Amino acid sequence: MPRERESRGRVIFHIDCNSFFASCEIARDPSLRGRPIVVAGDPKERRGIVLAASYAAKQQFGIYTTMPLTEAKKRCPSLVVRPPDFAFYREMSRRLFQWLERFPHVLERASIDEGYLDVTNRASIVHPLAFARHIQQGLLEQLSIPVSIGIAPNKFLAKMASEMKKPLGITVLRKRDVPHVLWPLPVEQMHGVGDKTARKLQALGLRTIGDMAKADRTLLERTFGVFGLRLHERANGIDPRPVDPEAAEKWKSVGNSTTLPHDADDEQELRAVLRQLAESVSARMKQKRVVSRTVQLTIRYHDFRTITRSQTEAAPLQTADDLFRAAARLLKRHWDGRPVRLLGVAALRVFDEREEGKQLDLFHYEEEAKAEALRKTVEQLRAKFGERALQMGAEWLSSNLEEKERGER
């Protein structure tokens, strides 16, 4: 069994706003209550996508986030479409967390519309269920924002619990409930498991959370590193992380660096390293659901002299291709040609991807699908022919992206 043991007797709430952007629009215009509405860019833009949908839109018409707006309108001709107003949503988020701060408990803001509350000390005075109902009702009355609340002995289980009843649900998930409540669920429903991780787990024959809980820890560590051990612990209901009020501040940047196996002065070799770093940073940003407008490049020369240079883009970045292009431009501009010992790529001042103003249309989705297919091909080459194939693939990608950039200019 895992060596770490969590504190006994903790009571953690995960407070999750229901369809937050849509709920904000309903709070601003109560006449929309009960009607199918979506937040989806300019209502006149035919190629926009759905950022948020009210529960009337979800439950009555099957409309979901990321659905093309054209499809949503086909399903519901009377659909109300509101353009995103991120300044208003941020203000509503500020008011929501300000209201929660009234209570003398440890509060952690996890994103614009969700947070954790450690109510352990209050649990001996007020029953957690009664306190959760008080919070839920208070937010509904004060801000007209519906929330679901998960109650559990740790953050992971509280997060899983809050997903089980929406809207306006309150769910208690105890450690002893894990085998019969969580273990039957497919791995992709586990918090922290994205599509790529789910595919890898399934390839190992691990299809349910229960399979992961009973899996060999060595196998998980060999496949996923420390993250694999963490998945194993959480599948067994173990999560010792404290509720941390400063957690949001700790993720203002996401980066990765690597010391090269030898001092390198070949531009294509350096670009191939940047490609791998960009893929690593992108994967972590997607896992944390953050984007950034500023990319930083770190270059350490053979004599240990180190420089950092950054570039801010107009549109938020998250994909490996976008991060690589920005880093490659910085390399072109600031590398003086001397041998390089270390390279680093970082996304600075990251923020919640749901606050992003850029609306991806169908064309962007098609481009992403093509890029994903290409990345899968490179992974298959790596598995079959080794790292050299990956480097060749990265160099090929780099040259093609460079040609694309020249064409765009």
Active-site residues, by number, are 114
End-to-end, the C-alpha distance of the chain in Å comes to: 57
Rounded Cα gap, residues 253 and 295, in angstroms: 10
Return the amino acid letter for 172.
V
Distance CA 125, CA 131 (A): 10
211 marked ligand binding residue? no
216 is in an annotated binding site: no
* CB contact burial 382-401 (16+ within 10 A = b; e otherwise): eeeeeeebbbebbeebbeeb
Q: Distance (Å, rounded) from C-alpha 290 to C-alpha 103?
A: 28
Give, in order, the Cα–Cα distances in Å from 190 to each of 53, 143, 197.
23, 30, 11
Can you spell out the DSSP letters for 208-276?
BHHHHHHS-HHHHHHHHTHHHHHHHHHHTT---PPP-TTHHHHTSEEEEEEEEEEEE--HHHHHHHHHH
Can you tell me the distance from the alpha carbon of 404 to that of 397, in angstroms, rounded to the nearest whole number?
A: 10
What is the rounded CA–CA span in Å between residue 79 and residue 77? 6
Contact predicate 359/303, CB 8 Å? no
Check whether the bond before 84 is cis (ω within 30° of 0).
no
| CB burial of residue 156 (10 Å; 0-12, 13-18, 19+) | buried
Residues of the binding site: 16, 113
Residues of the binding site for Mg(2+): 16, 113
